[in-house]
Chains A and B, each alone.
Chain A
Amino acid sequence: AQSVSQHNHHVILSEAASLELGCNYSYGGTVNLFWYVQYPGQHLQLLLKYFSGDPLVKGIKGFEAEFIKSKFSFNLRKPSVQWSDTAEYFCAVWTDSSYKLIFGSGTRLLVRP
Chain B
Amino acid sequence: EADIYQTPRYLVIGTGKKITLECSQTMGHDKMYWYQQDPGMELHLIHYSYGVNSTEKGDLSSESTVSRIRTEHFPLTLESARPSHTSQYLCASSSGLAGEGRELFFGEGSRLTVL
Q: Are A100 and B106 in contact (CB under 8 A)?
A: no
| B41-49, B61-69, B77-85 - the one binding chain A | B41-49
Q: Are B40 and A105 in contact (CB under 8 A)?
A: yes
A81-113 interface code vs B (CB 8 A; 1 in, 0 out): 000000000101010100111111110000000
Partner of B98, one of A34, A44, A105: A34
| B: contact size bracket | 20 to 34
Q: Are B40 and A99 in contact (CB under 8 A)?
A: no
Q: Are B98 and A42 in contact (CB under 8 A)?
A: no
A-B contacts, CB under 8 A, total: 56
Most buried by B among A52, A90, A106: A106
B21 within 8 A of A: no
Specify the chain B residue showing the minimal Cβ separation from A1. B59
B22 within 8 A of A: no
Which residues, 50 to 92 on B, are CB-close (under 8 Å) to A? Answer: 58-59, 90, 92
A4 within 8 A of B: yes
Enumerate chain B residues within 8 angstroms of A52, measured Cβ to Cβ.
Answer: 101
B30 within 8 A of A: no
Bound: A42/B106 CA distance, A:
10
Q: Which residues of B contact A (CB under 8 A)?
A: 2, 4, 35, 40-45, 58-59, 90, 92, 97-101, 103-109
Additional 11 contacts, C-beta under 8 A, given A32-B98, A100-B59:
A4-B42, A9-B40, A43-B2, A43-B107, A44-B104, A44-B106, A49-B103, A94-B99, A100-B98, A103-B35, A106-B42
Closest 4 CB pairs of A and B: A51-B101, A94-B98, A44-B106, A103-B43
Q: Which residues of A contact B (CB under 8 A)?
A: 4, 9, 32, 34, 36, 42-46, 49, 51-52, 90, 92, 94, 96, 99-106
